[in-house]
Structure 1
Amino acid sequence: MSERLLELAERIRSELSDVERLVGRVQEGWLRAERSADDLYLDSVALNLHGFYAGLERLFQTIAAAVDGTMPRGANWHQVLLQQMAVEAPSSVRPAVISERSRDALDEYRGFRHIVRHVYTFKFDPGKVQPLVEHMQTVFRQVRSEMLAFADFLEAQGREEERD
């Protein structure tokens, strides 16, 4: 178990680096969309916003399976998973992975990810994309900080198990 916790901590750090690259791509795409008024850049921004949330959600799925031992099911499993990450898991004795504040902020990106998957790209409304872009760096900084703290928790648990 200890090796698995240490590997998960490393994966969290690695995946967060990839997600951070997406944040930069969103910012750059938005600037280009504003300068050129080319809606193809808006498509790029939407795709990278989708990737931003999808990358975090993959980490949440891994944590749910590996640490909590349970993955939500059903039509609203995406929402339930996000909620699961914002509460302590007594069955596996883990702290909340993210705060309720982060959960609320990420829920906006989760909802947008759903739109990207189900709407034609030429129907994206720049007015609805803009707030997501504007808040993304702040949201990511907060989530990144919380998830790195969780990775530190996993490492401490893994090292403690190695000593025992």
Structure 2
Amino acid sequence: MSEEKINAYLGLIGDLEDKMPSIENIVGKIHSLGQEINRISGKIPEEKLMALAGYLHHFYTGVEDILARIIKTVDGYMPRSGDWHSELLYISSRKTPGVRPAIISAEMHEILTDYKAFRHLYRHAYAKELRWKKMDHLALNIQDVWMAFKKSIMAIIQFLQKIINDLEK
């Protein structure tokens, strides 16, 4: 059993470390494009809004993939309700006694809820419905959000490493 858990946790750590640079690349694109759009004084070209919306969508999808992978591997299940996206964020912000600490803070839960809501809008809206005012705070704050999220994931990686070290003894 310990060997299976060690292998699962090592695989999880590898997956997390593989996904983080891709998301960080998206964060850079969001930041650059958000700054560029923020400097536009007139009508914002639709293709810039669509590009930014797509990057925001990919950012949140990557974050959600990371959280889902942690929950599935460490907690041993995934939420299956019709509102599993919200449940995933909620579970991620709560510790599982005897299993793991909270993955993200309550504050990060609230912040990511805004990104989740925007992703929903993006998936169900037409280009003409996209507005800079619906995404400006998401784009302009992306670096701070990413740094805080990344710090949370690095703490979970350290937690998993400690468990692995304890199991190997």
- The 3-state SS of whatever aligns with 1:97 is coil
- Identity across the alignment (%): 30
Match of 2:70 in 1: 63
Unaligned runs of 5+ in 1: none
Q: Does 1:76 align with 2:80?
A: no
Structure 1: which 4+ aligned runs deviate by more than 6 Å?
Answer: none
Alignment of 1:15-30 (within 5 A): 15-30=19-34
Paired letter, 1:2 = I
Q: Does 1:13 align with 2:17?
A: yes
CA contact (8 A) 2:68 2:88 kept: yes
Distance (Å, rounded) in 1 between the aligned partners of 2:142 and 2:39: 20
Alignment of 1:46-125 (within 5 A): 46-90=53-97, 93-125=99-131
Match of 1:154 in 2: 160
Distance (Å, rounded) in 2 between the aligned partners of 1:96 and 1:34: 35
Match of 2:142 in 1: 136
CA contact (8 A) 1:10 1:151 kept: no
- Aligned residue pairs total 162
Deviation of residue 10 (structure 1)? 2.3
RMSD after superposition: 1.5
* 1:90-133 superposed Cα distances (whole Å, 9 cap, x missing partner): 2x610111111111111100110111111112210111110111
Distance (Å, rounded) in 2 between the aligned partners of 1:51 and 1:158: 31
Distance (Å, rounded) in 2 between the aligned partners of 1:44 and 1:34: 14
- The 3-state SS of whatever aligns with 2:135 is helix
Paired letter, 1:19 = I
CA contact (8 A) 1:19 1:55 kept: yes
Task: Output the TM-score relative to the length of structure 2.
Answer: 0.89
Distance (Å, rounded) in 2 between the aligned partners of 1:38 and 1:32: 11
Deviation of residue 30 (structure 1)? 2.3
Paired letter, 2:51 = S
Paired letter, 1:30 = G
Distance (Å, rounded) in 1 between the aligned partners of 2:9 and 2:165: 9
CA contact (8 A) 1:87 1:95 kept: yes
Paired letter, 1:156 = K
Deviation of residue 139 (structure 1)? 1.0
Distance (Å, rounded) in 2 between the aligned partners of 1:153 and 1:114: 32
Task: Output the TM-score relative to the length of structure 1.
Answer: 0.92
